[in-house]
A and B are shown apart, each in its own frame.
Chain A
Amino acid sequence: MMTAVPRLLQDILLSTAARYPDHIALVVDDARMSYREVTDYAFKLAHVLRASGVCRGDRVAIFMDNTWQCAASVYGVLLAGGVFVLINAQTKSDKLAFILRDSDSGILLSEQHLIRVFGPVTEQLPALRVLCTSKSKVLPDGVENLDDALADMPATLPPQSAITMDLAALIYTSGTTGFPKGVMHTHQSLLFVLDSITEYLGLSRNDRLFSALPLNFGYGLFQWLSAVRVGATLVLERSFIYPMQVFKRMNDEAVTSFASVPTIFAMMLAHDAKQPLRFPSVRMLTNAAAMLPAEFILGIRRMFPQAGLYKMYGQTECIRSAYLNPALAEIKPQSVGCAIPGTELLLLDENGKEVATGEVGTLHVRGPHLMRGYWKQPEKTAEVLVPGLLPGEFMLKSGDLFRRDADGDFYFVSRSDEIIKSRGEKVSPAEVENAIYSLPAVHEVVVAGIPDPILGEAVCAFVAAREGENLSVQQIKHICNERLENYMVPKHVLLLPELPRTINGKLSRKLIMEQCVTLLATLE
């Protein structure tokens, strides 16, 4: 049963629901769900999953928008003993099929409007059971109505057998090879980082957290986990697509915490310039996923006059690594601060030696919040989980170069791989290139990030057609739109007669960028 110290991620829901059953856990659209209601839903879902054959350690995919069902399903899967695999609702069929296969998910939880995406996939995966929330009684063959299945189940705690070392989640993240990797997190790693985060943010039950970040994204997921940990309320929006609606919701709900990325701040500042925006109830702002430009800070202060600004840095492999004390936001506008409580950050050179203060080194992360590795990819895991300070211990070797000042605060220098950060999302150039290469008329393609005032980096594709073939920008954007999440679709497509090569005959991003300087300058 429930323990005072949570050992499993679902324990935080059970203990909060026991203490504050009627407190509102979630506000999504018109739904206001109390902790009791969320727990009852999760219990019932756990019984549905158990009855569908889910055993301890089995993966269950959740392919939904930011709905209350999506948030509650995370706990339903855990209570069934399963491992949740959240998949971004923008994902297209091919990638969805890849993730379902790669994770060996036996069950897919989804919603009606996504049938267009998962429909074609279920035909390829006959063993997959699909349970779909739906207002309609008529669903395609092989798709079961989740709401009907839930109605027959008791709202009781099913027997639990998992231990804290068991997997709780696979979080898929873009990789340099073009295929996403499943980051394995245990109950232990997630609970540890959750407590570290809620500690430095000083979150309490009185907080009302606001997030429009997708739940499949570590930063978005942790808004929900944090709310449940402290018994706060999460106001969850589907997206930032209709900003005015979002701004109104933030003030109507008197939210106290706002989780953002630089692209959202950039967009808010653009609105604020036309028509001032004020959010007086917000006491805490967080930024992660990409560096916040220092010149944004003044405008952010104006929009959020009462709020402390937490600049943070992390990666899916450990969720969060660093945060900057908000008192230093203006004093050290370029810094992401120091290691989160209970963890350590090291800057090492190529020989594994610590670099001196002010020198650039590769960031290594030490602590109980590290992933167990990449799902079914021991070689890739060995590249990033390297021997730690103690026998048998591992450290996470991040792909990022940093330097540290004399106070121990860290400064991002550059990435050591070619991943593009657009809107705070990771975009793998190889993944976009693969999508474009699927057009037979394409001879060569190189995808790179170019600086963009709103997006941070914009995805730019340089494409050469096969001799004598017709190829249009439209065709290229279409194939990307069919295969990739919207944020990966290139903002710019440049058709070139041929792509420049190095003397060794290799395609080079650097060379292409240099040769296209004038062309790039003409883009909006």
Chain B
Amino acid sequence: MNMKKIIRHYIMENLLFTEDESVLQDSSSFLDGGIIDSTGVMEIILFIEETFGIKVDDNEMLPANLDSVDNLAAFVQRKQAQAVAA
């Protein structure tokens, strides 16, 4: 499964509690969609840390990194690339 698919699957199962693919576009803002609250963000962070072996800094907890499937996938890729480069 590609990264976006994995992320989308997680969001649908754990935050939307549904299998209906049509309810979530990769570019949709979780905030605008009313999909997350503050505990939801913490859950997403735990999930990407465990699944993709990255460490999210408090300073990186920003909508630009976390507020859609697209943003999450791009963020994880950047973090993984940094880890390889380091």
From A116, A271, A454, A477, contact of B58 by CB (8 A): A271
Contact residues of A between 368 and 420, Cβ < 8 Å to B: none
With A241-B38, A242-B62, A271-B58 as given contacts, are A478 and B33 in contact (CB-CB < 8 Å)?
A: no
In the bound complex, do residue B38 and residue A244 qualify as a contact, i.e. CB atoms below 8 Å apart? no
Residues of B within 8 A of A238 (CB): 31
Centre residue among B13, B16, B31, B36 by max chain A CB count within 10 A = B31
From B15, B32, B41, contact of A242 by CB (8 A): B41
From B17, B39, B63, contact of A481 by CB (8 A): B17
Distance in Å from the Cβ of B68 to the closest Cβ of chain A? 13
User: In the assembly, what is the distance between CA of A117 and CA of B34, in Å?
Assistant: 10
User: In the assembly, what is the distance between CA of A443 and CA of B47, in Å?
Assistant: 33
In the bound complex, do residue B58 and residue A244 qualify as a contact, i.e. CB atoms below 8 Å apart? yes
Residues of B within 8 A of A486 (CB): 34, 36-37, 40
Distance in Å from the Cβ of B24 to the closest Cβ of chain A? 12
With A241-B31, A242-B62, A244-B59 as given contacts, are A478 and B17 in contact (CB-CB < 8 Å)?
A: yes
Centre residue among B17, B40, B59 by max chain A CB count within 10 A = B17
In the bound complex, do residue A475 and residue B17 qualify as a contact, i.e. CB atoms below 8 Å apart? yes
With A89-B34, A116-B33, A486-B34 as given contacts, are A242 and B16 in contact (CB-CB < 8 Å)?
A: no
Residues of B within 8 A of A522 (CB): none
In the bound complex, do residue A244 and residue B61 qualify as a contact, i.e. CB atoms below 8 Å apart? yes
Residues of B within 8 A of A474 (CB): 13, 17
Residues of B within 8 A of A243 (CB): 38, 61
User: In the assembly, what is the distance between CA of A454 and CA of B43, in Å?
Assistant: 14
Residues of B within 8 A of A271 (CB): 58
Contact residues of B between 13 and 48, Cβ < 8 Å to A: 13, 15-18, 29, 31-34, 36-41
Residues of A within 8 A of B37 (CB): 90, 239, 241, 486-487
A267 at the interface (CB under 8 A from B): yes
Residues of B within 8 A of A241 (CB): 31, 36-38, 40-41
Contact residues of A between 261 and 284, Cβ < 8 Å to B: 267, 271, 274-275
Centre residue among B36, B38, B41, B59 by max chain A CB count within 10 A = B38
Among residues of A, the one whose C-beta sits closest to the C-beta of B15 is: A481
A245 at the interface (CB under 8 A from B): yes
With A113-B32, A116-B33 as given contacts, are A239 and B62 in contact (CB-CB < 8 Å)?
A: no
Among residues of A, the one whose C-beta sits closest to the C-beta of B67 is: A242
In the bound complex, do residue B38 and residue A478 qualify as a contact, i.e. CB atoms below 8 Å apart? no
In the bound complex, do residue B16 and residue A478 qualify as a contact, i.e. CB atoms below 8 Å apart? yes
With A89-B34, A116-B33 as given contacts, are A242 and B61 in contact (CB-CB < 8 Å)?
A: yes
Among residues of B, the one whose C-beta sits closest to the C-beta of A454 is: B39
Contact flags (1/0) for A95-122 with B, using CB distance below 8 Å?
0000000000000000001001100000
Centre residue among B40, B58, B60, B62 by max chain A CB count within 10 A = B58
In the bound complex, do residue A240 and residue B58 qualify as a contact, i.e. CB atoms below 8 Å apart? no
Among residues of A, the one whose C-beta sits closest to the C-beta of B31 is: A241
Residues of B within 8 A of A116 (CB): 33-34
In the bound complex, do residue B34 and residue A90 qualify as a contact, i.e. CB atoms below 8 Å apart? yes
In the bound complex, do residue A245 and residue B62 qualify as a contact, i.e. CB atoms below 8 Å apart? yes
In the bound complex, do residue B32 and residue A245 qualify as a contact, i.e. CB atoms below 8 Å apart? no
In the bound complex, do residue B34 and residue A240 qualify as a contact, i.e. CB atoms below 8 Å apart? no
Contact flags (1/0) for A473-490 with B, using CB distance below 8 Å?
011011001000011000
Residues of B within 8 A of A487 (CB): 37
User: In the assembly, what is the distance between CA of A481 and CA of B23, in Å?
Assistant: 13
Residues of B within 8 A of A239 (CB): 31, 37-38
Distance in Å from the Cβ of B22 to the closest Cβ of chain A? 12
Residues of B within 8 A of A478 (CB): 16-18
B interface residues with partner A (beta carbon < 8 Å)? 13, 15-18, 29, 31-34, 36-41, 58-63, 66
Besides A239-B38, A244-B58, A486-B40, 10 more A-B contacts (Cβ < 8 Å) are A116-B34, A117-B34, A241-B36, A241-B41, A242-B66, A244-B61, A454-B39, A474-B13, A478-B16, A478-B18
Q: Can you show 27 pairs from A to B with CB atoms below 8 A apart?
A: A90-B37, A113-B29, A113-B32, A238-B31, A239-B37, A240-B38, A241-B31, A241-B38, A241-B40, A242-B41, A242-B61, A242-B63, A243-B38, A243-B61, A244-B58, A244-B60, A244-B62, A245-B62, A245-B63, A267-B38, A271-B58, A474-B17, A478-B16, A478-B17, A478-B18, A481-B16, A481-B17
Q: Which 4 A-B pairs have the closest CB atoms?
A: A478-B17, A113-B32, A477-B17, A486-B37
